[in-house]
Amino acid sequence: CHCPSITDKSLLAVAKGCPNLTDLTIEGCANIGNEGLQAIARSCPNLKSVSIKDCPLVGDQGVASLLSSASYSLTKVKLQALNITDVSLAVIGHYGKAVTDLSLTSLPNVSEKGFWVMGNGHGLQKLKSFTVTSCRGATDSGLEAVGKGCPNLKQLCLSKCPFLSDKGLSSLAKAASSLECLQLEECHRISQFGFFCSLINCGAKLKVISFANCLGIKDLNSGLPPLSPCESLRSLSIHNCPGFGDASLFALGKLCPQLQHVELCGLHGITDAGVLPLLESCETGLLKVNLSGCVNLSDKVVQTISNLHGWTLELLNLDGCKISDASLVAIAENCQLLTDLDISKCTITDSGIAALAHFNPINLQILSVSGCSMVSDKSLPSLGKLGETLLGLNLQQCKAISSRAVELLTEQLWRFPSSGMICYYFLSLKMGVGFFMAEFP
């Protein structure tokens, strides 16, 4: 990797000396081109994994040679920042008979035709995971063809696909009937309609859906497709989609009764009115809830989570939410299985920390109170008690906690009979006080 002095001659030597080569990774090698890859193709028929990134001299001839020579052994292919064209994708679509994992990133010379031909090549019957990033050829018709041509596709990740629209996503979801995981990031032509179409059309196997930084999604009270429950969905993740609001959450509450993991992060437009129906609709008990950066959520949401899902909840992230000590009381009373709690940048006080420590049994392993300016040295006894089970504690930017308090806490935690513990703490005038404890085998 990143060896500009390595040339095709070096690959010729590798090919000659390593006929049983199974994994090939080439990254940032400006002087390796088609000749070297063709030599590998001729001499190494048992390749299982190929990753080629940022090699400007690599073109269709080199990629085609590798794919065609290892048609029945090659299972993983990753191509990034290369000057290949539609020809390479056509070869993948025809010769990728054993490929299960395919990743295509930043291929500026690949057009819609390349994706269409690849999907219609009928060679990717075993493809299970497909990732596309920053490929302008990833259009509606191209990706629909891939969905139809890959009947066993289970995981699909699409990032920075500027020409993918609601229509294309809906068609792709219908075509990929075996899809279990759908992830989209920075696909700005996708709207609320496309989001719900993908959720409804993916079939009965979809378990995970994740949308991040999709700026085209905006709440609409009308124009949604007919909604029917998606009983298979277990994990919902929406990150930094600013237009995603209460109306969308209300609709999701009707669609997804079997959710176990919920991540709603950086959604400034959602309020208690949207989140509560979603929480109330989850029938099986939530395991992980991440609401970080949702600045308009209050104690009412936390109390509902604690009352309805405290018997199953293992992780709760409330970083930046508008919650108080009342939320910590509810958590302490109801969430006995909780192991990971993040209440950073919340308006909690020493009383809230005391409540956490008072109620038993609580089995916290990771606790973050970073940026909680009203937590002070008075919390030292409570943090000490919580430390009996803690493996990690974050007190960064807790400016009311002194360095002396951290030193005392460190000494106290070292006394616990956990011989595998090792402790670190650090102090910065700007950052405040931080303390971390980790367990090593």
* DSSP letter (8 states) at residue 379: G
Instruction: Read off the pLDDT of residues 283-335 as tens digits, 9 standing for 90 and up.
Output: 999 999 999 999 999 999 999 999 999 999 999 999 999 999 999 999 999 99
Q: Where are the beta strands (DSSP E) in 110-212?
A: 129-133, 155-159, 181-185, 208-212
Find the mean pLDDT for residues 354-372. 88
Band of residue 422 on the pLDDT scale cut at 50, 70, 90: very low
In this predicted structure, the answer to whether residue 433 has a pLDDT above a threshold of 60 is: no
Gap between the Cα atoms of 209 and 199, Å rounded: 8
**Are 271 and 296 within 8 A, CB to CB?**
yes
pLDDT of residue 441: 36
Contacts of 113 (CB under 8 A, 6+ apart): 86, 137, 142
Q: Are 49 and 24 in contact (CB under 8 A)?
A: yes
Cα 288 to Cα 24, 137, 279, 311, 314: the distances in Å are 38, 36, 12, 12, 6
Backbone Cα Rg of the chain: 26
Asked if 191 and 217 count as a contact pair (C-beta separation under 8 A), the reply is yes
Q: Treating both helix axes as pointing N-terminal to C-terminal, what angle do 272-281 and 246-255 enclose, rounded to 10 degrees?
A: 10
Residue range 236-252: mean pLDDT, rounded: 94
Q: How large is the average pLDDT for residues 256-275?
A: 96
| CA quadruple 26, 30, 34, 35: dihedral sign | negative
Domain ranges of the chain: 1-142
Measure the CA–CA gap between 250 and 223, rounded to whole angstroms.
15
Q: Which residues pair with 271 in a beta bridge?
A: none
Q: In the CATH scheme, what architecture does the domain 1-142 have? A: Alpha-Beta Horseshoe (3.80)
> Among residues 328, 424, 308, 437, which one has the least CA distance to residue 372?
328
Q: What is the pLDDT of residue 423?
A: 44
Q: pTM for this structure?
A: 0.91
Q: What angle do CA 4, 7, 13 make, to 5 degrees?
A: 135
Q: In one letter, which amino acid is 400?
A: A
* Residues 304/280, Cβ–Cβ less than 8 Å: yes
pLDDT value of residue 204:
84
